[in-house]
Amino acid sequence: MTAGSIAAYIDEARLWSRHVEMAKIGATPAGGVHRLAFTPEDTLSRRLLLGWADARGFQSQIDDLGNIFIRRAGIDADAAPVISGSHIDTQPKGGRFDGIYGILAAFEVLEAMDDAGVKTRRPVEAVVWSAEESGRFDIGCLGSQAFVDPSKLPAIFEKRDGDGTSVRDAVAAMKRGLPKLGQRAFRSPVAYCVEAHIEQGPELEAQGKTIGVVTAIQGQRFFKIEVVGEAGHAGNTPERLRKDAVTATIPIIAGLRKLFHDPADIVRFTIGRIDVVPNAMAVIPGYVMFTIDFRHPDEATLTRLGGQIETVAREHAGPCDVKVTEIRRSKTTYFEGVVPETILAATERLGYSYMHMPSGAGHDCRYLAEMCPTGMIFIPCWKGISHNEAEDATPADVAAGARVLAETLVSLANR
Ligand code: HGY
Ligand code: MN
Ligand code: MN
């Protein structure tokens, strides 16, 4: 089948109804989705998807970190597949589209190919990448990182959540809830990778564009800042003897906000989590841990500003001690070559309005780009809101992204 006709087989109503079904798993009263990595909700949503795949006769495999690969066969069974997917887990009280859209759009393409009776040289696979969100284990993209670089697996397996559960045990528990699947090896060959995702920002909606042809994913540095004081009695301890970790943290954060202030509004600096210990009204806090999520497209800026965090924290710590730990650093990833070119050609052929744009958010494609030609397709989301229960998109945009994805995957699967 020539590209330019598979799009006609994308079924907007079917794709939207799949989103409605998936959003019921982990649904929150405010209309969002709470589906943390490897939880029963994650397992249930994978079971639902695998049931749809089974009904189509697609073959499914799973790897040691729970990444799932749903395959529609190609003419050449030995050819490396074209893969497309995203994550099924959400942030705490997340939205109904972040991640899951990329999986359901990819699965819709497999169904459209089946309905159209398309034959492609390469197999095409819809992929579930495990634990993309950092909400449970403080580090994200665990599945795609391990798939691309298996040497990371031992450290990833030892990561623990706030209850002390290791990734290893969480994955094993999830697998016990899944049907028996074929084994997939890490870093098994992949010809091309494409991910469809909501933009999670305001640009497409503001510019009135339907499709984002993604050019890059900005670099990021994640830190854990520990402020160590001394717990004490709130009633008896005079000010002059206090080592109050909260009193120290307030000027530290004020100093860091000053350091990261950017009149050009390109720096993304977020303190998303603050833990106070023992977090009791009548106890002077002896310990505070807070996180820094710092992102920027320029490596030199990431180095320069990130390198000043410890100095600024120490300057404002008063009688407390400070420990700064970098949790993860990722360079800016650029999407160039045949995949973004194929996405652009498909978008133009289908006549959708579009713009080239970088991604402020991180995605699994950051890692897949280390092993094969990769690209991303964005669709708008309501007011650019994401990582929020109010996250929303329209059936028309959801289907438009899937049509561009379908054209792109069929084209790449015949290369
Ligand atoms: O944090 C991110 O950028 C992604 O949404 N997990
Ligand atoms: Mn996210
Ligand atoms: Mn995402």
Q: How many CB atoms lie within 10 A of CB 17?
A: 13
Two structure tokens written together for 291: 């996180």
Question: Beta 182-183 vs 59-62: how paired, if at all?
Answer: parallel
3-state secondary structure of 292: strand
Distance 325 CA to ligand 3 centre (A): 25
Domains present along the chain, CATH in parentheses: 6-218+332-413 (3.40.630.10), 220-330 (3.30.70.360)
Cβ–ligand 1 distance for 198 under 6 Å, the answer: no
- Type and span of the H or E element at 82: strand 82-87
Cβ–ligand 1 distance for 362 under 6 Å, the answer: yes
Distance 362 CA to ligand 1 centre (A): 5
216 vs 337: CA distance, rounded Å? 12
Per residue in 234-274, pLDDT (tens digit) is: 999 999 999 999 999 999 999 999 999 999 999 999 999 99
Ligand 1 atom showing the smallest separation from residue 141 Cα? 6
Nearest bound ligand to the CA of residue 92: 2
151 vs 263: CA distance, rounded Å? 41
- Type and span of the H or E element at 195: strand 192-198
Cβ–ligand 1 distance for 201 under 6 Å, the answer: no
- Type and span of the H or E element at 107: helix 100-116
Mutate to test the pocket of ligand 1, among 88, 93, 132 (most ligand atoms within 8 A of CB): 132
Let me know: does 358 contact 201? Beta carbons within 8 Å: no
DSSP secondary structure string, 33-85? B---TTSHHHHHHHHHHHHHHHHHT-EEEE-TT--EEEEE--SSTTSPPEEEE
Distance 32 CA to ligand 2 centre (A): 13
Give residue 4's pLDDT: 52
Amino acid letter for position 208: G
Sequence-distant (6+) residues with CB within 8 A of 176 are none
| Nearest 10 degrees: Cα torsion 226, 229, 230, 236 | -130
3-state secondary structure of 364: coil
Cβ–ligand 1 distance for 133 under 6 Å, the answer: yes
Nearest bound ligand to the CA of residue 378: 3
Regarding pTM above 0.85, the answer is: yes
Sequence-distant (6+) residues with CB within 8 A of 341 are none
Cβ–ligand 1 distance for 199 under 6 Å, the answer: no
Question: Which residues are in the CB-under-5-Å shell of ion ligand 2?
Answer: 98
Give residue 2's pLDDT: 46
Nearest bound ligand to the CA of residue 362: 1
Cβ–ligand 1 distance for 361 under 6 Å, the answer: yes
Quick one: DSSP state of residue 13?
H
Give residue 5's pLDDT: 87
In this prediction, the residues of the chain whose per-residue pLDDT falls under 50 are 1-3
Nearest bound ligand to the CA of residue 359: 1
54 vs 45: CA distance, rounded Å? 14
Mutate to test the pocket of ligand 1, among 363, 364, 365, 367 (most ligand atoms within 8 A of CB): 363
Distance 387 CA to ligand 1 centre (A): 8
Per residue in 307-333, pLDDT (tens digit) is: 999 999 999 999 999 999 999 999 999
Our measurement of the distance from residue 166's CA atom to the centroid of its chain's CA atoms, rounded to an integer in Å, reads 20
Mutate to test the pocket of ligand 1, among 87, 134, 296, 391 (most ligand atoms within 8 A of CB): 134
Long-range contacts of 340-345 (CB under 8 A, 24+ apart): 340/213, 340/214, 340/215, 340/375, 342/375, 342/408, 342/411, 342/412, 343/194, 343/213, 343/375, 343/376, 343/377, 343/404, 343/408, 344/213, 345/411
Distance 6 CA to ligand 2 centre (A): 29
Question: Which residues are in the CB-under-5-Å shell of ion ligand 3?
Answer: 98-99
Quick one: DSSP state of residue 239?
G
Our measurement of the distance from residue 321's CA atom to the centroid of its chain's CA atoms, rounded to an integer in Å, reads 34
- What is the longest distance spanned by two Cα atoms in the chain? 80
Ligand 1 atom showing the smallest separation from residue 220 Cα? 3
Our measurement of the distance from residue 123's CA atom to the centroid of its chain's CA atoms, rounded to an integer in Å, reads 25
Ligand 1 atom showing the smallest separation from residue 362 Cα? 3
